[in-house]
A and B are shown apart, each in its own frame.
Chain A
Amino acid sequence: MSNLDYNMSFSTFCAKSNLKLIRDFVSSNLRQNHVQDKDCHMITLAVDEICTNSIIHGNRENIKNCVDVMIKVNPVEVIIEIVDKGISFDYTKFKEKSLDQLVKEKSKGSMGIMLVKRIMDKIEYVNESNKNVCRMVKTISVM
Chain B
Amino acid sequence: MLEISTSQERNYYIISLEGELDASTSLKLDTAIQDALQQNATKLVINLEKLQYVSSSGLGVFISYLSDFEAKGVYFSLLNAKDNILNTLTILGLEKLVPLIYQIPDE
A residues near B (Cβ < 8 Å) are: 16-17, 19-20, 23, 38, 41-42, 45, 48-49, 52, 55-56, 99, 102-104, 106-112, 114-115, 118-119
Contacts and interface: CB of A to CB of B under 8 A. Distances in A.
B24 A20 contact: yes
Given A20-B24, A115-B56, A38 B87 contact: yes
Interface stretch (B7-15, B36-44, B60-68): B60-68
Contacts of A55: 23
Interface of B: 1, 20, 22-24, 26, 53, 55-57, 59-61, 63-68, 84, 87-88, 91-94, 96-97
Contact of B22 (A19, A106, A109, A111): A19
The dominant DSSP class at the B interface is: helix
The dominant DSSP class at the A interface is: helix
Interface centre among A23, A42, A106 (most CB of B within 10 A): A106
A3 B91 CA distance: 33
Contacts of B93: 99
A46 B4 CA distance: 25
